Structure 1
């Protein structure tokens, strides 16, 4: 015999919208406390929830909230992420400038990216809204939503911050790393150049996701020249500024630094999230994979910034990351440094996987 809660779950498919709304509203807390009630009858409640995403905005809000919370369960995640029709609905709705639940859709997409098969999104296309100014490539649309969401100029009810987590997880896949470093035909801009500017944004979620996305794309060693090229991605200022504080350096040290790192104001603060600092330092470590990367970081005096970060950030993981980077930057090298078969020295580093399943 079904429990009272299981009976309540059954009412989310009721033909009366008032009954559906009352039932689903009361079920939201149980999506984290007692998620098993949504997994009965071969996940039939999950199928109903996916359908309700297209319902009245308030019902849709609760359905999305429950799906976001349930997607930490691998079985539910698979049922949601492998449903191509449902994914199409999510992608269409999130691009609608009048969509009231666009932020929840961003969160759900970020969780769905924990399913490796979502990398297929790289080849998906859909007609973009005229106001978005994008092309048919779904990833381009999501990037443009993320950029325009930063100032609320596209959808007044959405900031799209959680798309940063989506980008971070997608960037674990080689084919999507390639996407992030290639100019797009419709606007002649490299996607990574669009998101790198948010490494000092006020949103912790946006900064953390972008930092992880940059790091994961940086695992593509052949793209490092573009990363470090002042006329390409020019990533170093966007990584170094968040980890720099208001420290005073000797004139000789300061003048050798990148122009953006010189004469920082007295009120300059380094990022308050130690995990983000660690991520940026680990990204710099990835750039030591090539002799060119090491030489550039030495020439622009990255070492003093890392030295001060090590001294002033009381976090064992940050200090360990700084130690590893300093050891590489300060070592003596001969002109004919031994290289691996791929032409670069190997640097072991883990892809950034600290972005947990989002819950509401």
Structure 2
């Protein structure tokens, strides 16, 4: 005999809207407490939830929340990420300027990025949402949502976690680091780096990890460090500014610093999240791989900024990250062109962008 909970799960596909609504409302908590309930009968409840995502707003919101939680399970994650029709339903929601559950949908997409199959977004063609984008490519549309979303009900912040996971793949890094003919030859990463000092911690964290994962493309380091006026990405100011507070530097220290890092306001605040600071420091460390890049970081006076950061932030992880970077920047070079060994992506400790989003 099925238990009361098992019977409640069955009501997710009931023909009566009110009954489906009640079932969805009462089952949200069990997606974390009893996830096995939703794997019955070859994932039938998950299939029901995928349909309910298309239902009217209150039911859809609860369905999305449940799928966000359930996507931690690898079997369920595969079922969701491999379903092309379901992915299109999510994309339609995110790119709809009037969708009330766009942010919940972004959270689910961020979780689906734990599946390598989600890289299909880099080439997937779909109908162009004309009020939002001019590109038929799904990832272009998502990036347009993130940068200038027109939905007053959404922040799109969780898309930054999706981007951070996409650039763990070679194809993802290639997309974010290449000029897009579909977008006036703009490099997609240049659209993201401006958010390293955004008010949203989620957005700052996701963007910081996206930037860091892009720097595993060692061949792109020169372009990342070059100013945009020199056909580069102009990355450095956006990494360095979050590391800086209102402290004053000597003329010797500031000579050579990027213009954006000089004469800061007296109320300039440093990034408050230590994990984000460590991510930015790891990015700088990755950028020291080649002798040419190390010399550039020295020239623009990265060391004084890291020195002050070490003095001002009393966090062991931050100070250890500062020490590792300083050891590379301040050491004597034993020969031109010498390179530093870069850790493989798999060896990097799991960051916040590697974690499954969960809604309690």
TM-score range, shorter chain: over 0.9
Shift of 1:47: 0.5
Tell me the SS of whatever aligns to 1:131: coil
Q: Which stretch of structure 1 is more off in the superposition, 208-217 or 79-88?
A: 79-88
Task: List structure 1 segments (4+ residues) > 3 angstroms apart after TM superposition.
Answer: 349-353
For residues 226-273 of structure 1, give each alpha carbon's deviation from its aligned partner in whole angstroms, at most 9, with x where no partner exists: 101112110000000011111111121122311111111111111010
> Any stretches of 5+ residues in structure 1 without a counterpart?
339-343
Q: Which stretch of structure 1 is more off in the superposition, 90-99 or 210-219?
A: 90-99
TM-score w.r.t. the length of structure 2 is 0.95
**Contact residue 212 and residue 352 of structure 1 kept, 8 A:** no
Shift of 1:281: 0.3
Corresponding residue for 1:353?
350
Q: Distance in 1 between matches of 2:66 and 2:336?
A: 58
Corresponding residue for 1:308?
308
**Contact residue 291 and residue 336 of structure 2 kept, 8 A:** no
Corresponding residue for 2:89?
89
1:187-198 superposed matches below 5 A: 187-188=183-184, 189-198=186-195
Corresponding residue for 1:42?
42
Tell me the SS of whatever aligns to 1:132: coil
Q: Which stretch of structure 1 is more off in the superposition, 48-57 or 75-84?
A: 75-84
1:1-360 superposed matches below 5 A: 1-149=1-149, 154-188=150-184, 189-231=186-228, 232-338=232-338, 344-348=339-343, 350-351=347-348, 353-354=350-351, 355=353, 356-360=355-359
**Contact residue 110 and residue 162 of structure 2 kept, 8 A:** yes
Q: Distance in 1 between matches of 2:240 and 2:9?
A: 50
For residues 262-293 of structure 1, give each alpha carbon's deviation from its aligned partner in whole angstroms, at most 9, with x where no partner exists: 11111111101000000000000011011111
Tell me the SS of whatever aligns to 1:72: coil
**Contact residue 122 and residue 139 of structure 1 kept, 8 A:** yes
RMSD: 1.3
> Any stretches of 5+ residues in structure 2 without a counterpart?
none
**Contact residue 292 and residue 337 of structure 2 kept, 8 A:** no
